Chain A
Amino acid sequence: MKYVYNKFMIGIWLLLIIGLFVFGMGVVEAAGDPNGSNTYSDSIEGLKISINVVWTLIAAFLVFSMQSGFAFLGGFLRQKNMLNYLAHCFIDSTLGACVFYFFGFAVMFGGAKTYSGLDVGWSGLGWDGFMLLGDAYDVKTVMFWLFQMVFATKTVTIIAGAVAERMKFVPYVIYSCLMCGIIYPLYGHWVWGGGWLSTLPIGNGVVDFAGCAVVHTVGGIMALMGAWAVGPRKGKYNPDGSPNAIPGHNMTYVVVGCFILAFGWFGFNAGSTVAGTDLRISIIATNTFLAAAAGAAIMLFFTWKRQGFVDVSFVCNGALAGLVAITAPCAYVPPWSAIVIGVLAGLIMRGTVSLVEVKLKIDDPLGAVAVHGANGMWGMLAVGLFADGTYGINGLILGNGEQLLAQFIGTIVAFAYALAFGGAVFFGLKGTIGLRSSALEEEEGLDIAYHGTSCYPVEEGLFGAVGEQVIDVQAEKEQLSLLEEAISKDRTREKIYSEKLGRWVYGKAK
């Protein structure tokens, strides 16, 4: 384990050093506008640019706040694994951002030519703007980088919820780097960076306003593969395949997290105009909120009818499902369709939860696959259905089926792409360094095993300084290995159906 980790860190540093040498040369002939004096002028034009930059930056800050929303969704998990989930969220938004700076951004937007310094790139791959050097050292390019970076780190965090409570830390770090460095940017380049999907000669090409396919379908389907590869949590499934509930530890966190995510989503969608002078932003923000409200409302009544009470966890997931589904169509559709999209999103989310949990038998603690994967795809198709032509895209409601076909192609490509890359990454890691934490680590909680302390440490008076008592490391290790062995033996115990209890129980110890 230590060995693999060391090798991995050496690899990272080597990459950084090579990167510095290769791309550092660009520093000399900088032609961008690093201090903004050429971009800004005391005129209406200059003020327009200022408003656009300010708007995009504010949106980026809002999107960044969504990371705390994701962190709060850890309330769906048991408290013994909370710190591990928080650590996942945090390395995604920090280490992931660094990787996106060094590598991801250039792959994604090289060749897009929308800003200075993004010139080299082909329809399949971008290759310019590494480390924001050279021409990319420009106020507008860097603004764009910040906005895109928060998107990238959001996508990576989607998977954290699906593999939570049972994954080793090192493979997660490796996955996080790969996702930010290549998997997310490559598909992103095809749709947003001037790649082949955006120039498809059907309709207006594949359009994805704020990332239904780029962010959510790719993230959600990667999450499906991750959760599949790492396997269900202990106790999630009975031997006959029926799932058990594993309740979380704090619903307050979940609701607060949901509010923060919805708040950040205004930046996510409305900020994607990258222009404050584009007054469509008011429609976009309203559509965003309406879809969330409709998704939550439908789940309120649905769970009420089906389960006899209002299931708050599903109401929250319904709101998130609506937000995901409106991400692509938000700019192109009228408010009434936002309601329709949100309502269907809630129902699709509920259906996918059952599909994933009961039929596919994949354990997804936060519902990432249902919320992001399924509704990412629905949102992409919704553009082709509901776009009303006022923002340049004609959908099926105007009798134009071409856009729907283009959206369909984009969705299928995203699905297959994430399935292939997700399978390669997660099953590759599983075969080499292993994905799953040991039985004892999972039983005692990943917080203490991987982070040395519990997320909610013991109350005062129950702990002391180490010095008072010499800890015999060798003896401690021996005891630990005995315990490890006993607990992993429990996992291989046969489960039997108890008629008396009406449920599955562990058989006798061997």
Chain B
Amino acid sequence: MKKIEAIIRPEKFNIVRDALTELGYPGMTVTEVKGHGSQKGISEVWRGRRYRVDLLSKIKLEIVVKEEDVDKIVDTISTEAQTGSIGDGKIFVLNVENVYRIRTKEKDNTAI
């Protein structure tokens, strides 16, 4: 089992979610996060003076899947969330040891 953590643009979230649900992965955990990578931040104006906002709003999307599905999902997210400009985000794939469903106490693959 793998956990896919994708950090994407908020503007693209709806599109990515629709595409994943169409693929058959309706479950996900979503967090509004702030951060920056190589994108240098943007400048805004407050009472005539410019200030820099380093940490930009992004959406973090977490989804745990079977190993064989990882490529398909990573491919979907990276196609749909891409705009070509700096700040499109990143995708991390992590190992997951165990998964339990609290309601039924099912374990691992049946619990995803």
A residues at B contact (CB < 8 Å) = 235, 440, 443-444, 448, 451-454, 457-458, 462-466, 468-469, 471, 476, 479-480, 482-483, 485-487, 490, 498, 500-501, 505-506, 508-509
Contact B51 A501 (CB under 8 A): no
11 residue pairs from A and B, CB less than 8 Å apart: A235-B14, A451-B45, A453-B44, A458-B55, A482-B85, A483-B83, A490-B12, A490-B15, A500-B24, A505-B19, A505-B22
In the complex, which residues of chain B have a beta carbon less than 8 angstroms from the beta carbon of A451? Answer: 45
Q: How far is the CA of A139 from the CA of B104 in the complex (A)?
A: 81
Contact of B18 among A443, A454, A465, A498 (CB under 8 A): A498
Per the 8 Å Cβ criterion, residues 4-40 of B in contact with A are 11-12, 14-15, 18-19, 21-22, 24, 34, 39-40
- Which chain B positions have C-beta within 8 A of A457? 44, 46
Asked if residues B52 and A482 are in contact (CB atoms below 8 Å), the reply is no
Interface residues of chain B: helix, strand, loop or mixed (majority): mixed
Contact with A along B76-96 (1 / 0, CB 8 A): 000110111111000000000
| Cα distance, A15 to B20, chains bound together (Å) | 58
Shortest Cβ distance from residue B91 to the other chain A in the assembled complex, whole angstroms: 16
Of B55, B79, B80, B83, which contacts A482 at CB under 8 A?
B83
Is the Cβ of B86 less than 8 Å from the Cβ of A479? yes
B45/A452 in contact, CB under 8 A: yes
Chain B residues engaging chain A, CB cutoff 8 angstroms:
11-12, 14-15, 18-19, 21-22, 24, 34, 39-46, 50-55, 79-80, 82-87
Q: Are B50 and A500 touching (Cβ within 8 A)?
A: no
Q: Which residues of B contact A508 (CB under 8 A)?
A: 19
A85 to B80, CA, bound (A): 32
Q: Across the two chains, which residue of chain B brings its CB closest to A473? A: B43
The reply to whether A462 and B80 contact each other, CB–CB distance below 8 Å, is no
**In the docked arrangement, what's the CA distance between A469 and B22, Å?**
43
> Contact: B46 with A453, CB < 8 Å?
yes
Contact check, B52 vs A501: say whether CB atoms are below 8 A apart: no
Query: Would you call A465 and B80 a contact (CB within 8 A)?
Result: no
Q: Is the CB of B14 within 8 A of A506?
A: yes
Chain B's closest residue to A505 (CB) is B18
Do residues B22 and A498 form an inter-chain contact, with CB atoms below 8 A? yes
Given A448-B44, A505-B18: A463 and B83 interface contact (C-beta under 8 Å)? no
Q: Out of B15, B53, B85, which one reaches A463, CB within 8 Å?
A: B53
Contact A463 B80 (CB under 8 A): no
Q: State A457–B52 Cα separation when bound (angstroms).
A: 12
- Cβ contact within 8 Å between A509 and B80: yes
Q: Which residues of B contact A498 (CB under 8 A)?
A: 18, 21-22
CA distance A317 to B102 in the complex (A): 45
Q: Do B54 and A486 have beta carbons less than 8 Å apart?
A: no
Residues of B within 8 A of A500 (CB): 21-22, 24
Known: A465-B52, A506-B15. 16 other contacts (CB 8 A): A453-B45, A458-B55, A462-B53, A462-B54, A463-B44, A463-B52, A464-B54, A466-B50, A466-B51, A471-B52, A479-B87, A485-B83, A498-B22, A501-B18, A501-B21, A509-B15
Chain B residue nearest in CB terms to A489? B83
Q: How far is the CA of A448 from the CA of B11 in the complex (A)?
A: 15
Shortest CB–CB separation between residue A405 and chain B, in angstroms?
53
In the complex, A487→B83 CA distance in Å?
Answer: 7
A466 touches B43 (CB 8 A): yes
Q: Which residue of B lies closest to A447 (CB)?
A: B44
Q: How far is the CA of A509 from the CA of B78 in the complex (A)?
A: 11
* Contact (Cβ within 8 A) A486 B45: no
Complex CA distance for A443 and B42, rounded to whole angstroms: 16
Q: Which residues does chain A contribute within 8 Å of B85, judged by CB atoms?
A: 479-480, 482-483, 486
CA distance A325 to B83 in the complex (A): 50
Instruction: Indicate whether A464 sits within 8 Å of B52 (C-beta atoms), given known contacts A452-B45, A506-B18.
Output: yes
B58, chain A: closest CB distance, angstroms: 13
- Chain A CB within 10 Å, residue with most, of B18, B21, B39: B18
Q: Kindly provide the distance from the CB of A237 to the nearest chain B CB, expressed in whole angstroms.
A: 15
Residue among B14, B41, B79 making CB contact with A509, cutoff 8 Å: B79
Q: Which residues of B contact A458 (CB under 8 A)?
A: 53, 55
